[in-house]
Chains A and B, each alone.
Chain A
Amino acid sequence: MKYLDEFRDQNQAHNIAAAIANETRPDRDYRIMEFCGGHTHAIFRYGVQDLMPNNVQFVHGPGCPVCVLPIARLEAVMQMLRQYHIILCTYGDMMRVPGVNRRSLLQARAEGADIRMVYSTTDALQIARDHSTQAVVFFAIGFETTTPATAVAIKQAQAEGLKNFSVMSNHVLTPAALGAILNAEQPVAIDGLLGPSHVSSIIGSQPYEHFAQHYQKPIVVAGFEPLDVMQSTLMCIRLLNQGRNIVENEYTRVVTHAGNRKAQALIQDVFEIRDTFEWRGLGQLKNSALQIRQTFAEFDAERRFPVEPDVLKENKACECPAILRGQKRPTDCKLFGNGCTPASPIGSCMVSSEGACAAYWSYAGFRVPANNKQYENLSG
């Protein structure tokens, strides 16, 4: 496949691996957080960790949109489905996330709720056009990558006078999550970061400069292909060796310094920053998410279909929060493999293909041997 195979080339991988082995200093560790689930996925799917020296470790970050959505937001939409006669549209990844009593949207659908899996906001708009007498709610999730598409849908609905269409916005902001990780009371020990890939195509590499400088950690914006991850890791190691805490951009074929200004303007036009928003794992974060502006209030499902979800607690045994903060690994969780697997997930990190737990389970072969509670990498 042109433009993809080039970034999955085994010979290039060995060349970069040799450069990394050559440039890492044996007297220190390199703990590098890959921010996005897309990076985590690439690391495990292609076996990138196998090509790294022992003192280069990846710490998995919070950049998985499904994983950071708190159970309360899922419960809010479940209540919306119970209280109002709506058709709910959402992306496929969201369907299996377990909510209260491990109930997912897939189960709600089986019990009679009208829930449609869509591949884009265009599909959701079409469903609204096809069902003009019914309210159609799009459950919008994602970082800045998916926000412009939601903004376009809302503007399109306004232009068409599609009054039965509305959006429940759960869009969140990457810099806020990055700040929460680096500014935590007990910050996770990381030396550098691989910065977001698709998100940065929208917001650019500029927003990370403050973090690199303030927290004294190099950040390399990295693509999602395995060679991108390896090349970015090499760049990060070089910056660490040189003691330069700056932002570099490996993903230059897509990401610019300023980002996509048109998309940014669209987001700005339709959305405004929420005072506070709950993140799974990171808690309540100020100025970390987007809500629909007053000008587009008639397309805001939260205004049109108000619900008051109960105060909800996450499953205490589930370590998703600590895993999302990079403080624990999936194998540190008691539930990992013991009741929580991709077939029957308890935590959101086991649901999404971008979740760290799903990557560990599906690709790396970490399983619990029957008579031994210690996890081992069976494929190693």
Chain B
Amino acid sequence: MKLNIKNGKIDMSHGSGGRASALLIEELFLKYLNNDWLAQRNDSATFNIDAGRMVMSTDAHVISPLFFPGGDIGSLAVYGSVNDVAMSGAKPLYLSVSFILEEGFALCDLECIVISMAQAAKDCAVNIVCGDTKVVERGKGDGVFISTTGVGVLPQDVNICGSKAQVGDIIILSGSIGDHGVAILSKRENLQFETTIESDSAALNHLVADMVNAVPQIHCLRDPTRGGLATTLNEIATQSAVGMHIHETAIPVKAEVAAACELLGLDPLYMANEGKLIAICARADAETLLCVMRDHPLAKHSSIIGEIVADKHRLVQMHTAFGGQRIVDYLNADPLPRIC
């Protein structure tokens, strides 16, 4: 029996743990993801780690649409956990992956997703060492959900943490914001509009490695994903018990992203990113860090967007391009378009 990838669909037997499951693993998952650990066919993976502390993070992906300009759920699931591990300054090494597949999901689409994951893992230099597959009845899933967990190793002298922002520190952003959010919105079923914007979905671990190598004493790193830049800055302000002053004119927003947000009444500050990070470091380290970042292809447009200030209310305040001032709050709910 062979898996009919071209025309076949996922059925309940693929999640039964029996012969059909084995076929799916053999002819699809192992075909593209195989490595020494998966080849052993054990229930768990055993691996050695270098000296240092271990870092672990997990991320579930339920994105719609599954394929979008600039990426797909497969690569996004790999980058998600890799980036979360990297934000501690660690080197990501191993991933686990769980698929929840909906009955009727096309095997050819699943193959595209798995190929994309394999390529993403290769780009990140991580190995997918264990996995699981479950199938849910038609109507009880949204095609495919993917959950990944990443493990990495952190050198002893690196201590990057959301609570370490200090008054006087500088805030650096690695590039333009809102690309992912707008790319996804443009392909939503009921909101299709033409745009050339692609998701910024990318692995940030190599960029972080360069940054940590140059400035091991970075205070905070975080990727502003859901909730956007505004929410991430507020999270750090709360964690570190500080305020922030940022400058609207210093925050890069692509013209197409700005236009789409304008049309829909949304704010790029709250749009999701999947390949950007913010770094907070001592003023004395800012120039070195900025240079290193700008040398990396994923952070060519890095800029200093503001600084940490003392503020018992922990507010993020923005000097607007218009010359006024306003606070920038957490995202309160899913951004909804305005009526008029």
Contacts and interface: CB of A to CB of B under 8 A. Distances in A.
Interface of A: 1, 4, 8-10, 13-14, 38, 44-51, 65-66, 91-96, 116-119, 123, 126, 141-143, 145-146, 198, 226, 341-343, 352-354, 361-365, 367, 378-379
B333 interface: yes
Contacts of B333: 96, 342-343
Contacts of A116: 190
B268 to A, nearest CB: 12
A47 B340 contact: no
A255 B190 CA distance: 30
Contacts of B320: 45-47
Contact of A118 (B190, B255, B259, B325): B190
B315 A365 contact: yes
Nearest to A95: B336
Contacts of A91: 337, 339
Contacts of A48: 322, 324
Contacts of B339: 65-66, 91-94, 141-142, 145-146, 352, 354
Summarize B's interface: helix, strand, loop or mixed.
loop
A61 to B, nearest CB: 14
Interface in B185-212: 190-191
B123 interface: no
A378 B315 CA distance: 8
A47 B332 contact: no
B323 A10 contact: yes
A148 B214 CA distance: 60
Contacts of A342: 329, 332-333
B340 A363 contact: no
B322 A8 contact: yes
Interface in B293-340: 313, 315, 317, 320-327, 329-330, 332-333, 336-340
B315 A353 contact: no
Contacts of B324: 46-51
A67 to B, nearest CB: 11
A379 B325 contact: yes
A343 B325 contact: no
A92 B265 CA distance: 11
A14 B320 CA distance: 13
B332 to A, nearest CB: 4
Contacts of B262: 1, 4
B215 interface: no
Contacts of A145: 339-340
Given A46-B322, A46-B324, A145-B340, 11 more contacts: A47-B323, A95-B336, A123-B190, A342-B329, A343-B333, A353-B265, A362-B327, A362-B332, A365-B315, A365-B317, A365-B326
Interface in B145-171: none
Given A8-B321, A365-B317, A119 B337 contact: yes
B340 A38 contact: yes
A341 B326 CA distance: 17
A141 B340 CA distance: 10
A47 B337 contact: no
Given A65-B339, A91-B339, A378-B315, A47 B325 contact: yes
9 contacts: A1-B258, A10-B323, A46-B320, A46-B324, A48-B324, A66-B339, A119-B191, A362-B332, A379-B325
B313 A378 contact: yes
Contact of B315 (A4, A46, A66, A379): A379
